[in-house]
Amino acid sequence: MNSQDRQVEAGTAFGDSLSRFFQLTRFSHTVFALPFALGALVVAANGRLSLRVFVLVLVCMVCARTAAMLFNRLIDWSLDQRNPRTASRHLLIPKAAASLLLLLSSAGFLGAAAAINRLTFLLSPLALAIIFFYSLTKRFTAATHFFLGLALAVAPVGAWIAQTGHVDLAPLVLGVGVVCWVAGFDLIYATQDYDFDRREGIRSLVVKLGITRSLRLAQWLHVIVLAALIAFGFAAGLGPIYYGAMPVVAIALVYEHRSARNLDVGGINRAFFQSNAFVSAVFLIAVCADRLAR
């Protein structure tokens, strides 16, 4: 084998390893929380973003989410092996590699937060603790879906603090919306594991309430999301362009619930990924368009 062939083989192996890492951490799902963080950043900066803060917030987001997903995979390593839906996860990368990557991503988050401002530095260990804590909650509370929402709600609040150096009402209102949004779509997603969770004694509102009532609760949570997004507009002083996007968000949420109500895996996955990625993208576009129009 000549040197060129070895380079090609090494490149192929690296690409395969990177692909398996992205599968393990569901990197594509970064599109859920990231637009809310960037939207909060745009509003806090009144449309005049600092490149330095933008890059550091982006690094914080990617590192924090990567650390959270790796921690979740490590905590649930044996549990995932018993679940037919997740049985192949542990084959993607070795456990030791996942542990090392967890340490590196956590350090990356803390370092980037320290480089932003004093308050982000002081709050960064708390933020990391919150996003890790979600992975433990399924062992003692059925409200685990809301803790997942809280973990993602850290993003817009943190982005606002990164820009302003303090907390305001607007990001807290947006955070409430994110909590309800995530809890709602996680309830839909959790219906796939209803039988497994009952058998394993996993605490989940889907197990506690049943599938029908859980889907109804998800609908009400998404009604609250729409109200919270409108309230965020008032608190942040947004204008007609932003409010004009709210019916689009409402339509996407309705589509999500219609897609999921038959409980087929394809419908649930469409509801989970396509609809929610669309909602977060519409939010970010509406915020940016509103600020640029001023």
pLDDT tens readout for residues 47-67: 888 999 999 999 999 899 889
Q: What angle do CA 84, 19, 279 make, to 5 degrees?
A: 75
pLDDT of residue 140: 83
- CATH code, 30-292: 1.10.357.140
User: At residue 86, does pLDDT exceed 60?
Assistant: no
Q: Is 213 helix (H, G, I), strand (E, B) or coil?
A: helix
| Sign of the four-CA dihedral 165, 127, 91, 189 | negative
User: At residue 234, does pLDDT exceed 50?
Assistant: yes
Helical H segments across the chain, by residue range: 3-25, 30-44, 51-75, 77-82, 95-116, 118-137, 144-164, 169-190, 194-200, 205-209, 211-236, 240-244, 246-260, 265-269, 276-292
- Residue among 263, 255, 260, 259 nearest 279 (CA): 255
Give the pLDDT band (50/70/90) at residue 276: confident
User: At residue 26, does pLDDT exceed 70?
Assistant: no
> Which percentage of the chain shows pLDDT scores above 70?
78
Rounded distance between C-alpha atoms, residue 184 and residue 191, angstroms: 12
Structure tokens at 157: 């609040």
- Rounded mean pLDDT of the chain? 83
- Residue among 119, 123, 122, 130 nearest 68 (CA): 130
pLDDT of residue 13: 46
Beta-carbon contacts of 202 under 8 Å, excluding residues fewer than 6 positions away, are: 79, 138, 139, 193, 196
> Distance from CA of residue 139 to its chain's centroid?
21
pLDDT of residue 107: 97
Q: What angle do CA 173, 232, 206 make, to 5 degrees?
A: 55
- The whole-model pTM stands at 0.84
